[in-house]
A and B are shown apart, each in its own frame.
Chain A
Amino acid sequence: MLKNIPVIFLLTITFCYNAFCADRSINVTATDKAPKLDAKINDACWDKIKWYSEFSTLNAPDKKPEAQTHFKMLHDNKFLYVLAKLDEPLMNKLKANIKQRDGRVYDDDCLELFIDVNKNQVSYYHFIINSLGTIYDAQRRQGGHVATKEWDIDGIKIATEKYSDHWVIEMAIPLVKLGIEPDNSGIWGINIARDRQSKKEFSTFMPLNGGFHQPGHFGDLVLKDADLKAFSWEIKAPYAIKTISQNGKVFINNKLYITNDTGKFRFIKIKTKLLNHDESKITTTGLPNETGKEVQISTPAGANGNTLLVVNIINRQNNNLLATRLFPVNIEYSPLKINLTQPFYRNCIFSTESINELKGEIISNLESLTEVVLLIELKDSAGETVSSKVIKEITNTNDFSLEIPDLKYGEYHLCAELQKNNKKIYSAKIPVKKLPPLKGEVRIDKNLITLVDGEKFLPYGWFSYRDEFDLAQKQGYNIYVNYNAYYKSDKKLKEWLDENVKNGLKAIIYPYPERKYNNPERWQKPLSTEEAEGIRNFVRKWKSHPGILAWYMADEPELRPALPARISAIKKICEEEDPYHPCIMLNDTLDGIHKYIDGGDIFSPDPYPLFIQNKYAAKPIEKVGKFIEEIAIAGKNKKAAWITPQGFNYGDYGRVNNRAPNFVELRNMQYQAIIAGATGFTWYTYYRAKPYPDLILGVEFLGKEARLLKNVILSPQKRIAMKTGDKYVKAVYYKNIDGADWIIVVNNATEAKQLELILPEDAPSKWYILSEKKQVDSNGKTLKDRLNLYDTNIYTSSKLLADKLSTASTQNKINEMKKTKK
């Protein structure tokens, strides 16, 4: 059976690992006397404190590093003190170049600390210190996937010293800056790691494979005799956020809900500012103990864009900082803004859609709208009004619909004008196009699915077939992501695109005429006039070829790091020259999705979990779903979501102890993405997948299964989220698609889970598990079942559809192929 993984072996490994980790708790004694921070080990404060040591090598937990690291810890309810002694037989090769805070300190010999104060494995703090005392500090959110290095821990004190055969760090970390939440138990998650550059030796206190950023494997830091009550403030994320203008200045207004759990009444000042913005505002209030209060905040804002709101709670009596938090916010101000919802995509009316009304909202952020009316007009290219209406009683957000006649092809403008006493106050306009037909037209509809020539299209394929077109066709794929179009001459590119079409494939390529457009140094600069012209000409030349599906904007731009404005400029050119093909962005961080959100119509991130030999995913496998969910948040439900799942072995790129994902894991990733709303699949990467039967046969099967489920997958708006009672188990329900109801469930845990799902009303009582020749009966109200680790079950009320494919058969083929390869 598919679920025939050596579970007992893996469970044994897990048990031994957990037992070993229990011994790695760090007890931190309270001290009355703070250590003198001079990087000397002989301070009396440290005398009776235990040394912790026995670091192991990253990716080889049984192996000790050549150079060992030792540390001690103390606290005084104000600071966490750390003394670290790093043995170094090659002191003359100690690398110490970085002097700038938040620079690439990890390129030097350094110590890394990871502190999860609320032990939620969702957010933690990351500190890296080199022998010069240079610090890199960042807040890590969303399980470690998002790094905010703009977060700086003010008040941290560091001393370093080099000796003949070791170097020492002594530091004091202010507790108030660590975002301690109420009811903090004083048991935190921790790891300490070391980068030793002379031997490229990476070691860690908690044994790890894959990488240091694994909050699920942090050890326990136990603060003895700690009184953390003073830090017990809960500050919920800002809500009711508006960007407004007041007296010519822009402010971000929002509410905060603050709860005092410190054990005492507190008179406080709430100081808010945007990161890297000097101006701040202070609000005062008094809060009894165990009381929460909603506070209205107004903070001076700078330029539009994503930034962070810093909220500080200060003791009004002595000006001591009591708590601090960072929240991501988006500044988006304009006095008048038009958002079209119909047509939905690119403000274009395509030939495959019939629209007789323009619909949308007009937002005004003006302070006062008394006696103001809103005039809405659609004008043609000659400036003649085609249709108009007046809205008399307006508010900040005004929904509108404007009837339009059957328009001729061409460009129009939708104009909005605020008038007071018949005089214009503000106006705004957006272009609206009525497009002539084009064979092979591709657009995104309001349900965020891809349509080709007006028909639903399920994109499913790979990066880099290396032109094995016939194989790709035979395996049923319909898209081809190719990095290298710009290496081809015009003749070769046409032949290549023709070959795609002949084999039922559509290509996704860069809109660049030459390789140099993709050079790293270019990414950090604005688009030049010459580059813009080059891209425009290239897109114009190829836009009508039926082999084109979309333009590939960028591959992991956050790693370059690419200038968002550059990518937005490229997208604008592609849109203007070729409204018929969307732009695709690939990010590999959650932050990156936000940062480059204006750079694509479709987002297809690559949240690779990494898979470890004889173990599970190195990073929590549920990151796949999280990335898809983030697209909806960052794109405000206006960007289509695809997924670029891991279809390769990271070991082939030099990572030790890595392996390719197996069939169960591949299926998990695909269906996690579907549950989260993905409607397209571009597996990375075909030529690397070929040696692995799981990948070649597994993804082929998953493609067939996806095509069987096409109408389910392409109905993301019909997903009904189901409560599973377990954060590792995700489930969605679909009613009446292809004559059946459907439930997709994925278990992201590294253990089996008992499932009990509450079914909607009128749910069927007989369920068949897709591709597994199994039936599960429910009582009509709940469905109970068991899922093995990483397992996926797709329940359907259609036996006919359930029996069309077989995972067991595919697993058998995979096993047979593995035997022959041996």
Chain B
Amino acid sequence: MNKLFFLIAVTITTLSVQAQDSEKLPIIAYWSFDNDSGNTLIDSGPNKLNAVLKSKDDTQKILTAEGMKGKALFLEAKSKVKYVIDDKKNLLNITPPYTICAWVKKTAEKPKSMCIFSKKFDSHSTGYDFRISWNKLNSNVGNGSESFAVSSPYKSVKDNTWNHFAITNDGEKIILFINGETAQMKIVPEDISNVTPKANKAKAVIANYVGRPDAYNFVGLIDELYIIAKVLTNDELFQLAAP
């Protein structure tokens, strides 16, 4: 009985600590990949935006491996799966200010462009995504009339290496961070009216994009994926990322 009380007390304390952390940041979604269930990636944030595995292979299961904090989502080259988020309230039609960040380890050369997170049809001028393209961190935003892309410098992303990536958007500028440092910053040019992603009906997808599963599938590991309704500073990103 004493042991049970102890266990309950520890659990409540732990959950309390987590609740306090969540309250500090306006988290829209947070996938830690530590507590996934069946074919569903569990969103540990307040909105329960769980993601379901979609694959041509019925026997495909969620794969995990050792990540930067606990377990990470593991994507094989041959599987070409996607994790489609159940977002009935369209909470992922986000507007600035926001931050999207994750620990990422790309392990294959192809495809040349891989989505970490996407809520965008490739050719449409709506939505947004978070990618690695030609070994550059990449953010695409469609504001309804045009797309605005920001990329980190050439070869700033190395294969087979854990890196912490982040994109922040305050409505006037988009900043890309690699390992807590600014890798690229683009201020909205005069000929682009804004960088607010236009809401769309595209499914939000982890590790792929809403279209063909073999076009931009991610190959490697993703851990601690966050979508936060705030532009985090360098220090806040570090605090969130620190293993």
Is B243 close to A, CB under 8 A? yes
Q: Which residue of A lies closest to B234 (CB)?
A: A284
| Contact assessment for A265 and B162 in the assembled complex, using a CB-CB cutoff below 8 Å | yes
Is B113 close to A, CB under 8 A? no
| Contact assessment for A284 and B162 in the assembled complex, using a CB-CB cutoff below 8 Å | no
A285 to B180, CA, bound (A): 6
A322-377 interface with B by 8 A CB criterion: none
| Contact assessment for B238 and A288 in the assembled complex, using a CB-CB cutoff below 8 Å | no
B141-160 interface with A by 8 A CB criterion: 158
Given contacts A284-B238, A285-B180, A286-B179, contact A264 B158 (CB under 8 A): no
Is A287 close to B, CB under 8 A? yes
Q: How far is the CB of B20 from chain A (nearest CB, A)?
A: 19
| Contact assessment for A316 and B158 in the assembled complex, using a CB-CB cutoff below 8 Å | no
Is B63 close to A, CB under 8 A? no
Is A528 close to B, CB under 8 A? no
Is B181 close to A, CB under 8 A? yes
Given contacts A265-B243, A267-B241, A316-B242, contact A285 B161 (CB under 8 A): no
Q: How far is the CB of A511 from chain B (nearest CB, A)?
A: 57
Chain A residues whose C-beta falls within 8 Å of the C-beta of B167 in the assembled complex: none
| Contact assessment for B180 and A284 in the assembled complex, using a CB-CB cutoff below 8 Å | yes
Q: How many interface residues does chain B have, given as a range?
A: 10 to 19
A284 to B243, CA, bound (A): 16
Is B68 close to A, CB under 8 A? yes
Q: Which of A264, A287, A291, A316 contacts B238 (CB under 8 A)?
A: A316
| Contact assessment for B161 and A288 in the assembled complex, using a CB-CB cutoff below 8 Å | yes
Q: How far is the CB of B58 from chain A (nearest CB, A)?
A: 37
| Contact assessment for A267 and B242 in the assembled complex, using a CB-CB cutoff below 8 Å | yes
A283-315 interface with B by 8 A CB criterion: 284-291
Is A317 close to B, CB under 8 A? yes
| Contact assessment for A264 and B180 in the assembled complex, using a CB-CB cutoff below 8 Å | no
Q: How many interface residues does chain A have, given as a range?
A: 10 to 19
Q: Which residue of A lies closest to B181 (CB)?
A: A285
| Contact assessment for B162 and A267 in the assembled complex, using a CB-CB cutoff below 8 Å | no
| Contact assessment for B242 and A288 in the assembled complex, using a CB-CB cutoff below 8 Å | no
| Contact assessment for A287 and B242 in the assembled complex, using a CB-CB cutoff below 8 Å | no
Chain B residues whose C-beta falls within 8 Å of the C-beta of A291 in the assembled complex: 158, 161
Q: Which residue of B lies closest to A287 (CB)?
A: B179
| Contact assessment for B180 and A286 in the assembled complex, using a CB-CB cutoff below 8 Å | yes
Q: How far is the CB of B109 from chain A (nearest CB, A)?
A: 18
Q: Which of A286, A288, A289 contacts B181 (CB under 8 A)?
A: A286
| Contact assessment for B179 and A285 in the assembled complex, using a CB-CB cutoff below 8 Å | yes
Q: Which of A265, A284, A291 has the most CB of B within 10 A?
A: A265
Chain A residues whose C-beta falls within 8 Å of the C-beta of B234 in the assembled complex: 284
A465 to B238, CA, bound (A): 71
A265 to B68, CA, bound (A): 9
Is B119 close to A, CB under 8 A? no
Is B163 close to A, CB under 8 A? yes
Chain A residues whose C-beta falls within 8 Å of the C-beta of B238 in the assembled complex: 267, 284, 286, 316
Q: Which of A285, A288, A291, A317 has the most CB of B within 10 A?
A: A288
Is B164 close to A, CB under 8 A? yes
Q: How far is the CB of B102 from chain A (nearest CB, A)?
A: 14
Q: How far is the CB of A764 from chain B (nearest CB, A)?
A: 47
In the complex, per-residue mask of A126-144: 1 if CB is within 8 Å of any chain B CB, else 0: 0000000000000000000
Chain A residues whose C-beta falls within 8 Å of the C-beta of B68 in the assembled complex: 265
Q: How far is the CB of B229 from chain A (nearest CB, A)?
A: 24
A284 to B164, CA, bound (A): 14
Chain A residues whose C-beta falls within 8 Å of the C-beta of B243 in the assembled complex: 264-265
Q: How far is the CB of A759 from chain B (nearest CB, A)?
A: 40
Chain B residues whose C-beta falls within 8 Å of the C-beta of A264 in the assembled complex: 243
Given contacts A316-B238, A316-B242, contact A267 B161 (CB under 8 A): no
Q: Which of A267, A289, A317 has the most CB of B within 10 A?
A: A267
B88-130 interface with A by 8 A CB criterion: none
A284 to B242, CA, bound (A): 13
A316 to B238, CA, bound (A): 9
Q: Which residue of B lies closest to A264 (CB)?
A: B243
Chain A residues whose C-beta falls within 8 Å of the C-beta of B158 in the assembled complex: 288, 291
| Contact assessment for B163 and A288 in the assembled complex, using a CB-CB cutoff below 8 Å | yes
Chain B residues whose C-beta falls within 8 Å of the C-beta of A287 in the assembled complex: 179
Q: Which residue of B lies closest to A285 (CB)?
A: B181
A288 to B159, CA, bound (A): 11
Chain A residues whose C-beta falls within 8 Å of the C-beta of B181 in the assembled complex: 284-286
Given contacts A284-B238, A291-B158, A317-B242, contact A267 B163 (CB under 8 A): no
A286 to B163, CA, bound (A): 8
Chain B residues whose C-beta falls within 8 Å of the C-beta of A316 in the assembled complex: 238, 242
Chain A residues whose C-beta falls within 8 Å of the C-beta of B180 in the assembled complex: 267, 284-286
A264 to B243, CA, bound (A): 10
A287 to B234, CA, bound (A): 15
Chain A residues whose C-beta falls within 8 Å of the C-beta of B161 in the assembled complex: 288-291
Q: Which residue of B lies closest to A290 (CB)?
A: B161
A253-302 interface with B by 8 A CB criterion: 264-265, 267, 284-291
Q: Which of A288, A290, A317 contacts B179 (CB under 8 A)?
A: A288
Chain B residues whose C-beta falls within 8 Å of the C-beta of A265 in the assembled complex: 68, 162, 179, 243
| Contact assessment for A288 and B241 in the assembled complex, using a CB-CB cutoff below 8 Å | no
Q: Which residue of A lies closest to B161 (CB)?
A: A288
Q: Which residue of A lies closest to B238 (CB)?
A: A267
Chain B residues whose C-beta falls within 8 Å of the C-beta of A267 in the assembled complex: 179-180, 238, 241-242
A288 to B234, CA, bound (A): 17
A389 to B234, CA, bound (A): 50
A146 to B186, CA, bound (A): 49
Q: Which of B164, B178, B238, B242 has the most CB of A within 10 A?
A: B242
A744 to B158, CA, bound (A): 47
Q: How far is the CB of A510 from chain B (nearest CB, A)?
A: 57
Q: How far is the CB of B108 from chain A (nearest CB, A)?
A: 17
Q: How far is the CB of A159 from chain B (nearest CB, A)?
A: 37
Q: Which residue of A lies closest to B178 (CB)?
A: A286
A289 to B105, CA, bound (A): 12
A492 to B219, CA, bound (A): 91
Q: How far is the CB of B80 from chain A (nearest CB, A)?
A: 27
B185-207 interface with A by 8 A CB criterion: none
Q: How far is the CB of A804 from chain B (nearest CB, A)?
A: 60
A285 to B162, CA, bound (A): 14
Q: How far is the CB of A400 from chain B (nearest CB, A)?
A: 36
Chain B residues whose C-beta falls within 8 Å of the C-beta of A285 in the assembled complex: 179-181
In the complex, per-residue mask of B199-243: 1 if CB is within 8 Å of any chain A CB, else 0: 000000000000000000000000000000000001000100111
Supplied contacts A284-B180, A291-B161, 16 more A-B pairs, CB within 8 Å: A264-B243, A265-B179, A267-B180, A267-B241, A267-B242, A284-B234, A285-B179, A286-B164, A286-B179, A286-B180, A286-B181, A287-B179, A288-B158, A288-B162, A289-B161, A317-B242
Query: 13 A-B Cβ contacts within 8 A?
Result: A265-B179, A267-B179, A267-B238, A284-B180, A284-B181, A284-B238, A285-B179, A285-B181, A286-B164, A286-B181, A288-B158, A288-B162, A291-B158
The 5 closest A-B pairs by CB, nearest first: A286-B179, A288-B161, A286-B180, A317-B242, A285-B181
